[in-house]
Every structure is written in structure tokens, then in C-alpha cells.
Structure 1
């Protein structure tokens, strides 16, 4: 519900919901103090009656009808109360509690009374046009909220299945048994009866009983997952059984997205409308979190303040795409800061690369292979190439090094040759901020500057000895 900015008097009501009681704070027109009331937890009819009395009191004081506008924090009570109040004609807003501005003192007071008073003031400011005081959560339809249960229940079942599998493997590993049969179906009872420990003893009676119970729970989870998958397939095919089922069928046509992923994306994301890409990134928790103060500027990563199931799935889809389709344009993530960059090569490096391309690379890859350093299977060499280089350096010199240390070593060589050449180092290493370059390589530059100063002093001494001017 989009609020309307109006100057007509309204009564701003905030609710602090808990299991035992609901604390109600009402800010009447022209009042500076929030009036507090208490309703038994879960008593929606009592709340409606209280709102009627508050509206009557405010209308009597103002002389005209004063409607009540209600807000409460999104939490464990869900959205049923917001739907109920709206059905009775009460304008209701569900607020994101994490968006409130709070005191940053080391110890701040935290009580239900303070919270409900602050929420009433926040609601008044928000309805007055200040959109920066909080964020309003969109209330989903009952059908859209119910559709999420398919994917979220399956996620819980998969986690439970993983716990049972790990428990069974852990119990058997204690006795030296590493191969387990029947984890994903089959005659697990017969396989359990054939197991013996690594030192040739039969399994203990109580251990066998515990393993049997774990297997029973595991296969019950397997059965629930199969039932849920069958229910999902039937719901996405039947008309009106699943909201936005055509969107699921469209997503399945994309390479890399299956039935489970398409159902999650539709139920968690594509059931609602987004005005622009910023709203979508904010909803998913993928919006950037920059930190810029004075001369310090850096990125703190994504906010992660959004829909976690959808964000997790999208990250997994992206990594799967890059893993199984390395030729995709998304492979630009391998460059520093995910930005393409061209660096001219010196004559020594060009000579080494020419020798490699002419004599060694034909032995590693078939004609037409596009990778500069292909693996044995003809694919792009990943960590194995860096490991081989590190092993060879250690065999020849006894020094342990990795690929990332070559970056710092190159910066050290540059600063030794040109003290103060942070701009060159920043361009070669592709740092976005000069402060990052200085913070990582200030020691190397200081050493080079001291060595350069010693050279200047030495030259001056030689000139003095030869009778020259300093």
C-alpha cells in the first residue's frame, strides 16, 4: 500500500507485538506525547475495538473524523494482522525494523514502551513525506505467501537430509568404516548387518540400533522430498494451482535453470513488481555497501539485507554458469575488480611467451584450443597451474611462494627502482584506490627511499672528497 501525503489530521498508531500482550501507542493530532494501551496478545477484535475508541477520542478533540493509521514491525506474526486490519478499512503499514535510525551509543535503552513510541513518531514522519526514516515492507497476497512453502519446505528437508547423512557417516568413521551403502535408498538393513569395523569386529548392539533409527529418519526425509517434488510438478502444470505458473515454465526453458530453481525464483522474486534494478538488488540483498569517508573509500561487499533463499540460489546459478560455460562473457570475473584491463608486455616477457607458444603449448592443446594455459583435458588451467609453479620454485630454491605473492613482488621491484611510484604500482595491480596501494606497499617504498637517500649522501661525500661543491 503506497501512503498518500496529506495534511489532514490522522491518528498515528504503532503496535509492539508479542505472544502475551500487544502494546499499542497512539499519537493523536496536536499531541507530542504517545498514549499507551495494552491488548491481550492475539486479540484482533479487541484491537479493532481499541482503534475505534482512539478514533472517536481524536475526532471529538479535533471536531472532524480522524482516521487511524496503524504500523508494526515485520516479524514472526507475519502479515495476517495487516490483511485483517485492511479488510476492516484501517490503513496499515508493515515496517522493516532494520531500517530504523537508532542511537549508536554503547548502551542504549531498549524497552517495548520506547520502541512503540519511536515507531509512532517514525510513522508520522514517513506519512509526512520523509521516506528516509524507514522502509515499508510490501504485504504479499495469501496465494503468493503460500507458494513459498513449496521451496522453503524443500530447503529444510534437504538440510535435514544432510544432517542425517553426516551423522551416519560420522558414527561409522569412528570405527574405520568409510563406505556406506543405502544412504540414498536400497536395502540399508542388509548392508548394515554386513558391516564390520576396520579391526574386524562386528558393530556394537547400541550402535546398530542408533544407526537403524538414523536410517529410518533419513529415508523418511527422502520420501517427503519425493512427495514434495511430485506436488510441485503437479502444481506448476495445473492451471490456477500455483501463482504465476507460466513464469515457471518460461524460466525452465533457460539453460542452467531447472524446475526447483524456477519455482524458487518465481515464488520468492518474480511474484512482485520492481520499478527498477536498484529495487531488485535491494530486495535480494545484492546492493553494494560502499564506505566513503574523507580520503578512505572502499567497497564492503553486498548488503545481504534481503531475501536470502533467492540470493543463495542466484549465486549458485552464477557459479554453475561460470563452471560449466567457461566461454561465457561472465568469465570477466577472473580479472582484478571484474574489469577488463590491457597491460603492455616487455620484450623479455614477450620472448618467453613466444617460446612457450611455439614449442610447448602445441604439446598441451589441440589446434583450435583458445586457452593460453590449457590443462591436460584441454580446458582452462585453474589452481593446478599455480600449484605446479609453486612446487617447482620450492624444488629449485626452497622458498614457498604462491601466485598472489608475485603481485607483491612486482610492486616491490617497481618501488625499489622508482621510489614513490605508487601510480605505476596502482596501474599494474589494478587497485581502485591509491590508499590501498600505499597501505600494502608503504614498507617496501620506505626501504627503497632509504636506500636512495643513502646513495645521494654517498655521491655528495665523493664530490666533497674530490674538491667539488656539495
Structure 2
């Protein structure tokens, strides 16, 4: 009796991706398949699949990490269904929580993919992904600037040099920089140490300004509509608007404010067991960089917008940190509203 194929066979591939090797597990719809190691090359994986699983409908999955999305884009170019997942979203059974190897991870990904329990993350297009890299470079420079300033002040404190009162603040004016350049030490080595740190400071400062300028120019040129909509909101400046567009992508993909707040991390954490119900503050899972920028922008919003200022004063007397998180959530809601409606925000007037 002749047999006929009535359905397309399916292949599920879980990949544990590393810099020097991939651990791959192939499972079909009727069997668990096998696990093997290979060089990190999507083309070689395609050759393997074509040789041993020709005619299969192929689905792949791997965890987001340092290797980015280049493999994902290669798999999609082969006509495969590809997914990149957040490692925290992969369900692990009891033993799998305490036993971790590359083989187990690959098998786990293939199993969860086959059972349909995985939800992929939003993979940015290359244009937005590389804009994100520029935004994160600026954030790295902010950290470097903070560090070199601390080193310089530490050296002054160590040698007992008191900073003049007019310069003793976070703003390093040109006058303060000239004062640092003019400092004298008992020995030349102390002067050389400070001059070296000042050269580092000036280099970082120049890089910071250049990167910030390029970030603003690129975002305004290539995402002008959404950029101008965001800039209409009091508290959201050019850098915050650029960060939102680079890190969060197109906000229209979020169905509602609850989904967006959960992604950013401005939703409340709740723990309930029986009759016990506790609010644990902000959710632990968050996009911490974007959340910090929204909280920072909220302080500007309550100064510039009467409506936001009235909302803040209504909660005065409570914990300041909790109140500013409420303001940040409100600011996030406005952000989503102006993008979805394509209507600039108009500053309200307190009645």
C-alpha cells in the first residue's frame, strides 16, 4: 500500500548561542531528535537542515543576549519561522532550575517552542537598532563623566584642597575648570596627575556633546513625526524623546497603557497568598534605563505643566519617591496617547 504525506512535517530548533559555538537541538513533530555542537554560522545550520530535514517546516528560537539579532535575520531570510525570547520567559521545571548546561538549555528551548509556550520579543529593524547603540553610547559617556569627576574631586579631597564655594556644585563651569588648571602642587607629579585627569575629563566631555548632537539630529531627521509629538509633552526633552524612540521602538505596537507600563516597569508589584495581599512597589521586571529617564523627566514635567503640578501637590505629604513614580506613570500615559492619536499635547490650564 502506498503511503502519502498529508501534512508538512515540522522541525523545531532550539539554539543556545555563544560567541565561539552553538549548541543546537533539533526536534520534529513526532520525535525529540538530537543535540549537537557547531560553529556559530547560520549558513552551516541551513546546510545541515537541508541535508537531513529537507521538506520540513522549520521554526527556530534562541535567547536574546550579546550576540544580537544577526542569526535571527539570517534564519528569516531562509524562509524559516524565527523567534528571539527573553530568557526570563522560558519556563523551567523543578530540576531544570538547578541544573544548567548548554545542552539542557537547547533542549528546553526546542521543547517550549514545540509546545507553543514561547512568546518572542520585538526585534528592532537595523536602523532603529543602531540608533539604540548611539543612545546607549551616550549613556555610557554619562557614567564615564560621573566617574572622572569623582576621581578629580577625590584627589582634591585627598590633598586637602578646598573647592571655592561658588564652584562647589555639580555644574562644572568654565571658571571651575580654569581654577583646576591653575592649581599648584608641592611636587610636579601631583600636578601631572591632575592634568592627566583633566585631559580625560575634556575628552569625555567633547565626546558626550558630539554624541548628544548626533543623536538629536538623527532622531529628528528620520523619526520626525513621532519626535515632534513627544517633544510637545512638558518634561520630555530631545534626549528623552530620542531614548523613547530608540529603546521602545514604535509605541503603536502597545495595545494600551497597562501593557506599556508593564514593559517599562512603571506598574505595581503585587504578592498575594491566601488572605495576605502585599504591594511590593514597582515591578522588578523593567526596562531600567527607560524607566529612569521617565522618572527624571517627571521632575521637569511638574515644573512646566500646571496639570501635572496639581497632580503632584495632591499627593504631597506621602513618600516622595512613590509620588514621583505616579507622576512618571501619568507621563508615560501621555506619551502613548500622543503617539497613538498623532495629536500634539497641549498644556492644560489649572482652573
1:287 aligns with 2:287: no
Partner in structure 2 of residue 11 of structure 1: 11
Cα contact 1:72–1:95 (8 A) shared by 2: yes
Partner in structure 2 of residue 464 of structure 1: none
What is the rounded CA distance, in whole Å, between the counterparts of 1:77 and 1:87 in structure 2?
A: 18
Cα contact 1:286–1:304 (8 A) shared by 2: no
Q: TM-score, normalised by structure 1?
A: 0.60
Deviation at 1:107, TM superposition (A): 7.3
What is the rounded CA distance, in whole Å, between the counterparts of 2:101 and 2:202 in structure 1?
A: 47
1:263 aligns with 2:242: yes
Partner in structure 2 of residue 83 of structure 1: 73
Deviation at 1:166, TM superposition (A): 0.7
Root mean square deviation, CA, Å: 2.7
Of 214, 237, 241 in structure 2, the residue corresponding to residue 231 of structure 1 is: 214
| Closer/same/farther in 2, CA of residues 274 and 139 from structure 1, 3 Å limit | same
1:249 aligns with 2:247: no
Partner in structure 2 of residue 444 of structure 1: none
SS at match of 1:328: helix
SS at match of 1:26: strand
What is the rounded CA distance, in whole Å, between the counterparts of 2:292 and 2:158 in structure 1?
A: 33
What is the rounded CA distance, in whole Å, between the counterparts of 2:86 and 2:282 in structure 1?
A: 19
What is the rounded CA distance, in whole Å, between the counterparts of 1:321 and 1:117 in structure 2?
A: 49
Partner in structure 1 of residue 189 of structure 2: 206
Listed one character per residue, the Cα deviations across residues 34-72 of structure 1 (whole Å, up to 9, x for unaligned) are: 41122112x22212212223422xxxxxxxx32111000
Partner in structure 1 of residue 125 of structure 2: 141
1:73 aligns with 2:52: no
SS at match of 2:214: helix
| Closer/same/farther in 2, CA of residues 34 and 118 from structure 1, 3 Å limit | farther
Deviation at 1:8, TM superposition (A): 5.3
Of 33, 37, 48 in structure 2, the residue corresponding to residue 50 of structure 1 is: 48
Cα contact 2:216–2:239 (8 A) shared by 1: no
Deviation at 1:74, TM superposition (A): 0.6
Cα contact 2:15–2:60 (8 A) shared by 1: yes
Cα contact 1:144–1:271 (8 A) shared by 2: no
Deviation at 1:335, TM superposition (A): 6.2
Partner in structure 2 of residue 125 of structure 1: 115
Of 311, 315, 319 in structure 1, the residue corresponding to residue 291 of structure 2 is: 311
Cα contact 1:16–1:73 (8 A) shared by 2: yes
What is the rounded CA distance, in whole Å, between the counterparts of 2:100 and 2:208 in structure 1?
A: 43
What is the rounded CA distance, in whole Å, between the counterparts of 1:148 and 1:119 in structure 2?
A: 27
Of 152, 155, 158 in structure 2, the residue corresponding to residue 171 of structure 1 is: 155
Cα contact 1:195–1:203 (8 A) shared by 2: no
What is the rounded CA distance, in whole Å, between the counterparts of 1:158 and 1:275 in structure 2?
A: 33
Partner in structure 2 of residue 297 of structure 1: 277
What is the rounded CA distance, in whole Å, between the counterparts of 1:20 and 1:311 in structure 2?
A: 34
| Closer/same/farther in 2, CA of residues 235 and 89 from structure 1, 3 Å limit | same
| Closer/same/farther in 2, CA of residues 230 and 319 from structure 1, 3 Å limit | closer
| Closer/same/farther in 2, CA of residues 193 and 319 from structure 1, 3 Å limit | closer
| Closer/same/farther in 2, CA of residues 299 and 105 from structure 1, 3 Å limit | farther
Cα contact 2:269–2:284 (8 A) shared by 1: no
Greater Cα radius of gyration, structure 1 or 2: 1
